[in-house]
Structures are given as structure tokens and as C-alpha cells.
Amino acid sequence: MPVLTRVREGQALQKSRNVVSRIVAHEAMVVPIRGSAEPGGSVYTFNESGTTIWALIESGRSASEVAAHLQSEYEISAEQAAADTKEFLAELAEEGLIELA
């Protein structure tokens, strides 16, 4: 079952224990470890908003807190922030990059 289908309101997210990450030149770089990637596997890099979301996840924020931050930071509607957050977190979960805290 995907991680996001089990998230309770306000439940914190965290990066997976199977990844390492660093911020390089204002972009998050995320690398799967511990045999979770095939040889020559993926390195994930995120744009500015993706890096912001990644930093919030690393600090233990919930999906609703991430959306509220995006709404404020990028001056978008609450609905757009929630939709964008849900979509990006679903992609991260599908790739095995995040899990429930």
C-alpha cells in the first residue's frame, strides 16, 4: 500500500532510511542506498520548490504543513498548494524516497 494512503492528518513524513541526500547549488540531490537501486540507478535532483519540500520533509513536517508553507512561500491558493503537495509526495512515495515518521 502506498505510504500516502495511510497518512493521518498532521502525521509527519520523513526521508526513507534507504536514501541519502544533500543540497548542492540550491538543489536537493537524493540517492538510493542499501541495494534499493539497481546498478547505475537513479540520482534524483529537485528544482527550487521540490528542494523546499524535501527540506520540510527532512525536518519532520506533515503534508498539510508542507502545503501551508508552499501557499505562503509561492503565494498560491490553499487548494493549489494542497494539490501540488499531494502530487509531489505521491511521486516521492512511489519512488521509495519518503516514508511515515
Give yes or no for a contact between 100 and 1, defined as CB atoms under 8 angstroms apart.
no
Give yes or no for a contact between 45 and 29, defined as CB atoms under 8 angstroms apart.
yes
**What global pTM score does this model have?**
0.84
C-alpha 88/C-alpha 94 separation (Å) is 10
Q: What is the pLDDT of residue 8?
A: 63
The residue ranking higher by pLDDT, 5 or 90, is: 90
Cell 502525521 maps to which residue?
11
**Domain coordinates in residue numbering, the chain:** 11-100
Q: What is the pLDDT of residues 39-94, one digit of tens each?
A: 556 899 999 999 999 999 999 999 999 999 999 999 999 999 999 999 999 999 98
One CATH from 1.20.80, 3.10.20, 3.90.930, 3.50.50 for 11-100: 3.90.930
Q: What is the pLDDT of residue 38?
A: 54
